[in-house]
Amino acid sequence: MIQTSFPDKAVMAELVAKMLWEIKAVHFSADKPYKLASGMASPVYIDCRKLISYPRIRSAVMDFAAATVLREAGFEQFDVIAGGETAGIPFAAMLAERLALPMIYVRKAPKGHGRNAQIEGHMPEGARVLVIEDLTTAGGSMFKFIDAIRAAGGVVDHGIALFYYDIFPKARAEMQDKGVTLHNIATWRDVLAVAKTQKLFDEKTLFEVEAFLNAPLEWSGRNGGVSELAPA
């Protein structure tokens, strides 16, 4: 299926932020912070996996994802769509369907038996692969999958996260230095803007969220998480 409209980027970001609030995918706990995959403590957590349970919402999000990569990367730039185990797999399947492209998925590690495969599906040598994740903070988890694809002979120049934390000013540039352009639809700033407009956070919550977004590692260090990130 290839039928994509091209809404304004700001409109897509606002709508995805509203969707995440609507399905109660935004969670807050400053007293008992969430521990992210990076080891960072966070007072807020986005559960993008919930998107798959809402057909109208997931369809719109996939339209936005297709529009984002086609507009920002190009129309004939990819041969395969890849999702990382596990959260990226359903989104890779849906985006591959949208763009009429083959799909693969990448395990976090080789499965240890049978063919000991880490990449499932067919990826020709030299295939141009777009990696999709539900969310990313600084790209570290995405690069585990990118490195595996590159080691298997695939070419990865682009990745897309439906939700990008966008709290580390250098993160996108550091990914670019490793040869990957990161695309995204919505960020925490978009979610926070909706919260302010609709008064979804009380003042204390809003203070903690903004304190985290403005200085995430400092907030993390004060609340039992890492105060610096390992290199991606």
- Rg of the chain over Cα atoms, rounded to whole angstroms, equals 18
CA–chain centroid gap for 109, Å, is 20
Give the chain's domains with CATH numbers: 9-222 (3.40.50.2020)
- CB of 109 within 8 A of CB of 116? no
At a CB cut-off of 8 Å and minimum separation 6, what does 148 contact?
106, 107, 118, 119
- CB of 194 within 8 A of CB of 200? yes
Sequence letter at residue 156 = V
Position of tokens 């990008």? Answer: 164
The model's pTM is 0.91
Neighbours of 178 (CB within 10 A): 13
At a CB cut-off of 8 Å and minimum separation 6, what does 53 contact?
23
Distance CA 111, CA 114 (A): 8
Per-residue pLDDT of the chain (232 residues; tens, 9 = 90+): 666 678 999 999 999 999 999 999 999 988 899 998 888 999 999 999 999 999 999 999 999 999 999 999 999 999 999 999 999 999 999 999 999 999 999 999 887 654 558 999 999 999 999 999 999 988 788 999 999 999 999 999 999 999 999 998 888 999 999 999 999 999 999 999 999 999 988 888 888 999 999 999 999 999 999 988 776 5
Which residues are paired to 132 by β-bridges? 83, 160
